[in-house]
Amino acid sequence: QKEVEQNSGPLSVPEGAIASLNCTYSDRGSQSFFWYRQYSGKSPELIMSIYSNGDKEDGRFTAQLNKASQYVSLLIRDSQPSDSATYLCASISSGGSYIPTFGRGTSLIVHP
Amino acid sequence: KAGVTQTPRYLIKTRGQQVTLSCSPISGHRSVSWYQQTPGQGLQFLFEYFSETQRNKGNFPGRFSGRQFSNSRSEMNVSTLELGDSALYLCASSSDQETQYFGPGTRLLVL
């Protein structure tokens, strides 16, 4: 059973701080990883994808991947109240089926 | 480009009825996937269609079915509705089979 685990939170950070969201996955064959943001009552929207070990930066967002530890993280710098949402981590295995496995999400609250 | 569209946005049905949901992908995207999202189970993959063929299938009973048309639009059907089918049903389209772009969803309530 392929699993993606996330702490449900809520993770509460003050405005302007760095929010760190973490995700672990069970399938060593996972090759592609995605972070989605989902506001309450809305659908998920893609933030970033990462495929190689290391860091990938896009604006205030940095995704980090460590395949040896089966660990993916998302850092949000200069957090804003508008970043308050649930963040979903997803992985896709290299087995050819391309079926994404989603974590249950971490709720982030950025307070002014 | 216009995003993924789904209709209807809200539905109320009673147990035993059937329902059909519709999804129009982003122009040029040939892969359409369907997901069920509930508070208890999170986001669960139902199936994926590509060029009118079901390419992948999740772990859902046969009451859940779908199809894709030649213009890449897709429909999902749930027959003999159960209370547990109440959920947000999300459609996502993709150009690379991996990166999912989600529609606004259809919220289904089964009474």
Task: List pLDDT tens digits, range A4-28.
Answer: 999 988 999 999 999 999 999 999 8
Grouping H, G, I as helix, E, B as strand and the rest as coil, residue A83 is: helix
Q: Which chain A residues are closer than 8 Å to B105 by Cβ?
A: 43
From the CA of A36, how many Å to the nearest CA of chain B?
9
Phi, psi of B29 (to 5 degrees): -85, 130
Burial A55-73 (b: 16+ CB within 10 A, else e): eeeeeebbbbbeeeebebb
Give the residue-averaged pLDDT of B51-65. 94
The residue in chain A having the minimum alpha-carbon distance to the alpha carbon of residue B56 is A97
CB-based contact B104:B36 (threshold 8 Å):
no
Burial B61-93 (b: 16+ CB within 10 A, else e): eeebbbebeeebbbbbebeebeeebbbbbbbbb
Indicate if the alpha-carbon torsion angle B69, B75, B80, B85 is positive or negative: positive
Name which of A89, A61, A55, A64 is nearest A77 in CA terms. A61
Give the residue-averaged pLDDT of B35-55. 93
What type of residue sits at position B33? S
Q: Which of residues 49-108 of B touch A (CB under 8 A)?
A: 55-56, 58, 88, 90, 97-105
pLDDT at A96: 67
The residue in chain A having the minimum alpha-carbon distance to the alpha carbon of residue B46 is A99
Each residue's pLDDT tens digit, A66-93: 999 999 999 999 999 999 999 999 999 8
pLDDT at A12: 97
B88: left (phi over 0), alpha (psi -120 to 50) or beta: beta
Any idea what the Cα angle at residue B85 is, between residues B61 and B72, rounded to 5°?
70
Q: Which chain B residues are closer than 8 Å to A103 by Cβ?
A: 42
pLDDT at A19: 98
